[in-house]
């Protein structure tokens, strides 16, 4: 599929690659991939490239680019502070696609800090109709603590069998409903990320729900997200027909094993294709 | 339309695609930032896998410094890596060597300079040396911690993969069994590429890769001395230097710090800009 090297106009001068849909330009939203931390625009283990090419085969165009000061993009010259600069970068990228590709709506997909940014951009810009948050903000529940504790103990004492009893799909929880009680969780993650507070996330998700923005929530294992429905337990008001949850048990945060990259690419591509 | 380094209004700066339509390569061209160009070009050859990720920032920094020193600089992704066409599962050593040759041709065709130098780190150095031998007209070659013995390189990566797996598997519930035959630290590792890399022995290079060669090591490595002897035997003027600095290769997943070994980069810029000596 055609891929085009692009440089956004100054002052951003951001470097990226536009992947054109194989079936030609369509009127639907284009996807924008956001940097995962300091990794450049190809994403961890090149998953953004794979997603972009698979989406192109399914008629979706996309842009992967480096935020200012990341990868191949120089720092901005307008002196904006960090968060404002990142928001402006994405806004500039959307304006660029509007001007050059006649795209008027967007789906943002971000991993880690890219998910945090995608969430903030979606709140600030009504052109965003979908956000894919991969290893984005996590808030704990009582059940997630229980899972993690049980997991640690079981790996020492009963390797293997306990999960068949408890089940990642919540078999035990359904039998013991009190275990689903929610804790006033704190966000997990960190490492210099701009993670929204629980209140910010709550208010923001209500606003996105009001606007009908579609959500994809994907989490790897081991960072405070411990079972598939954890997001729904924390934010029960998010309409179920607007959110898709995917818990990639056994995947690490970098999606190092190829099998887990395959799962991640499939989750993101299938969700995006269903939105169109 | 394929955008190439030679645009309709002079050379294209910044990101571009070049090479044959079936295997388009993504590159970044940094043009000289001085009025007086050195009439030379430098092609930077990336290492592979985790090393590529870890070295990415250092390569960009090196490219900008070389451009400030007056060189045209092209850094690019091999087939199946980065933003270039293809899948890593289909990659081969020979393809990557051809990609370097294509990059040299691209830069030479666009800029018109006869003097082209190559710089590579780890596997990038090895591939650069092999490509330079194929080109036969590379002026200078910088081998930064070159992979001399491919079997040792692959064995080291496998050990890293196992270390990572054992560290992570303790925390994660259903990590599937280790499969170092098929993947290494986040990337598919096909039988073709595995065999290609295991057979690498840079100390048996048969053709002089460049007139001047600099081997930069950040650690003592007896292989570097043996490689230097071999290259001198082929008629190259060879220098071997040890320059201290942070190691930016073979890090395990999640340990990418984006470090920039300034002294190493400065040594490379100084050597490429110096009069003809190793």
Per residue in A110-167, pLDDT tens?
A: 999 999 999 999 999 999 999 999 999 999 999 998 887 877 776 666 554 444 344 4
From B15, B82, B186, residue closest to A254, measured CB to CB: B186
**Residues B57, A7: C-beta atoms closer than 8 Å:** no
Within 8 A of B85 by CB-CB distance, chain A residues are 3
The pLDDT of residue B163 is: 87
**Residues A251, B28: C-beta atoms closer than 8 Å:** no
**Residues A249, B171: C-beta atoms closer than 8 Å:** no
Q: What domain range includes position B73?
A: 6-148+208-273
A196: in domain: yes
Q: What are phi and psi of A252, to 5 degrees?
A: -90, 170
B28: in domain: yes
Percent of chain B that is helix, strand, coil (3-state, to 5): 40, 20, 40
> What ipTM was assigned to the predicted interfaces of this complex?
0.93
Among residues A108, A115, A112, the alpha carbon closest in space to that of A44 is found at A112
The answer to whether A152 faces chain B, any CB pair under 8 Å, is: no
pTM for the full predicted model: 0.91
B245: CB partners within 8 A, 6+ apart: B218, B261, B262, B263, B264
Q: What domain range includes position A90?
A: 3-141+182-275
Strands (E), chain A: 3-7, 15-19, 30-34, 62-65, 106-111, 128-134, 138-139, 187-188, 214-220, 243-248
**Residues B60, A221: C-beta atoms closer than 8 Å:** no
A163: in domain: no
The shortest C-alpha distance from A211 to chain B (Å) reads 35
A100: in domain: yes
- At residue B12 the predicted structure's pLDDT band, cuts being 50, 70 and 90, is confident
Q: What percent of chain A has pLDDT over 90?
A: 70
A229: in domain: yes
Total number of domains in chain A: 1
The answer to whether A219 faces chain B, any CB pair under 8 Å, is: no
Total number of domains in chain B: 1
Instruction: Please tell me whether residue A134 adopts helix, strand or coil conformation.
Output: strand
The shortest C-alpha distance from A164 to chain B (Å) reads 12
**CATH code of the domain containing B138:** 3.40.50.1820
Among residues A37, A4, A64, the alpha carbon closest in space to that of A191 is found at A37
From A7, A255, A257, residue closest to B15, measured CB to CB: A7
| C-alpha to C-alpha distance for B76 and B23, rounded to whole angstroms | 13
pLDDT tens sequence across A162-174? 443 444 433 343 3
Within 8 A of B187 by CB-CB distance, chain A residues are 45-46, 258
Within 8 A of B64 by CB-CB distance, chain A residues are none
Within 8 A of A222 by CB-CB distance, chain B residues are 171-172
Say how far residue A23 (Cα) sits from the centre of its chain. Answer: 26
B158: in domain: no
**CATH code of the domain containing A33:** 3.40.50.1820
**Residues B173, A42: C-beta atoms closer than 8 Å:** no
Within 8 A of A249 by CB-CB distance, chain B residues are 172-174
**Residues A151, B174: C-beta atoms closer than 8 Å:** no
- At residue A26 the predicted structure's pLDDT band, cuts being 50, 70 and 90, is low
Note which residues in 166-205 of chain A have CB less than 8 A from chain B.
168
Note which residues in 240-259 of chain A have CB less than 8 A from chain B.
249-259
User: Mean of the pLDDT values across residues B178-205?
Assistant: 89
**Residues A257, B253: C-beta atoms closer than 8 Å:** no
A23: in domain: yes
**Residues B174, A39: C-beta atoms closer than 8 Å:** no
Q: Map tokens 């006869």 to a residue.
A: B114
Element (H, E) at A231: helix A230-234
Q: Which is it for the CA torsion A155, A160, A162, A168, positive or negative?
A: positive
B142 within 8 A of B271, measured Cβ to Cβ: yes
- At residue B170 the predicted structure's pLDDT band, cuts being 50, 70 and 90, is confident
Asked if pLDDT for residue A176 goes beyond 80, the answer is: no
The answer to whether A148 faces chain B, any CB pair under 8 Å, is: no
The pLDDT of residue B277 is: 47
B157 within 8 A of B54, measured Cβ to Cβ: no
Q: Which one is predicted more confidently, B165 or B30? A: B30
Strand partners, A108: A32, A131
A153: in domain: no
């Amino acid at each position: 599929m055609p891929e085009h090297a692009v440089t956004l106009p100054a002052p951003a001068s951001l470097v990226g690659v536009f992947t054109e849909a194989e079936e030609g330009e369509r009127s639907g939203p284009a996807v924008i991939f956001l940097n995962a931390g300091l990794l450049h625009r190809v994403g961890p283990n090149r998953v953004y490239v794979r997603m972009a090419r698979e989406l192109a085969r399914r008629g979706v165009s996309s842009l992967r680019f480096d935020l200012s000061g990341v990868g191949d993009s120089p720092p901005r010259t307008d002196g904006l502070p960090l968060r404002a600069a990142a928001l402006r970068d994405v806004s500039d990228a959307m304006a660029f696609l509007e001007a050059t590709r006649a795209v008027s709506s967007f789906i943002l997909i971000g991993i880690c800090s890219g998910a945090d940014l995608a969430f903030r951009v979606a709140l600030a810009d009504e052109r965003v109709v979908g956000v894919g948050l991969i290893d984005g903000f996590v808030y704990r529940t009582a059940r997630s603590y229980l899972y993690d504790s049980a997991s640690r103990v079981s790996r020492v004492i009963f390797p293997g069998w306990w999960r068949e009893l408890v089940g990642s799909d919540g078999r035990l929880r359904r039998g013991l409903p009190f275990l689903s009680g929610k804790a006033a969780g704190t966000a997990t993650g960190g490492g210099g990320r701009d993670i929204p507070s629980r209140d910010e996330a709550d208010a923001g998700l209500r606003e996105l729900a009001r606007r009908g923005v579609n959500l994809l929530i994907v989490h790897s294992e081991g960072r405070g997200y411990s079972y598939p429905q954890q997001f729904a337990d924390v934010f029960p008001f998010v309409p179920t027909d607007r959110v898709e949850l995917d818990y990639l048990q056994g995947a690490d945060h970098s999606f190092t094993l190829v099998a887990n990259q395959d799962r991640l690419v499939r989750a993101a591509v299938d969700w995006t294709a269903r939105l169109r | 339309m394929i955008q190439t380094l030679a645009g309709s209004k002079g050379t294209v700066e910044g990101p571009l695609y070049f090479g044959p339509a079936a295997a388009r390569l993504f590159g970044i061209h940094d043009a000289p930032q001085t009025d007086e160009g050195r009439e030379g070009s430098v092609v930077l050859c990336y290492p592979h896998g985790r090393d590529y990720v870890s070295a990415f920032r250092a390569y960009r920094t090196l490219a900008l410094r070389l451009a400030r020193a007056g060189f045209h600089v092209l850094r690019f992704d091999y087939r199946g890596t980065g933003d270039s066409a293809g899948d890593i599962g289909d990659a081969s050593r020979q393809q990557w060597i051809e990609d370097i040759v294509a990059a040299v041709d691209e830069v030479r065709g666009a800029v018109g300079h006869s003097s082209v130098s190559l710089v590579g780190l780890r596997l990038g150095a090895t591939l650069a040396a092999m490509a330079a031998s194929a080109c036969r007209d590379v002026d200078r070659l910088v081998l930064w911690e070159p992979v001399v013995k491919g079997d040792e390189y692959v064995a080291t990566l496998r050990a890293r993969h196992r270390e990572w797996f054992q560290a992570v598997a303790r925390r994660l519930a259903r990590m599937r069994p280790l499969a170092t035959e098929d993947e290494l630290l986040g990337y598919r590792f096909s039988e073709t590429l595995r065999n290609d890399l295991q057979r690498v022995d840079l100390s048996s290079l048969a053709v002089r890769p460049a007139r001047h060669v600099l081997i930069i090591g950040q650690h003592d490595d007896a292989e570097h001395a043996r490689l230097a002897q071999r290259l001198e035997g082929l008629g190259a003027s060879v220098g071997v230097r040890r320059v201290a600095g942070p190691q930016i290769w073979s890090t395990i997943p999640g340990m990418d710090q984006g470090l920039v070994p300034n002294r190493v980069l400065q040594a490379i810029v100084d050597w490429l800009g110096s009069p003809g000596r190793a």
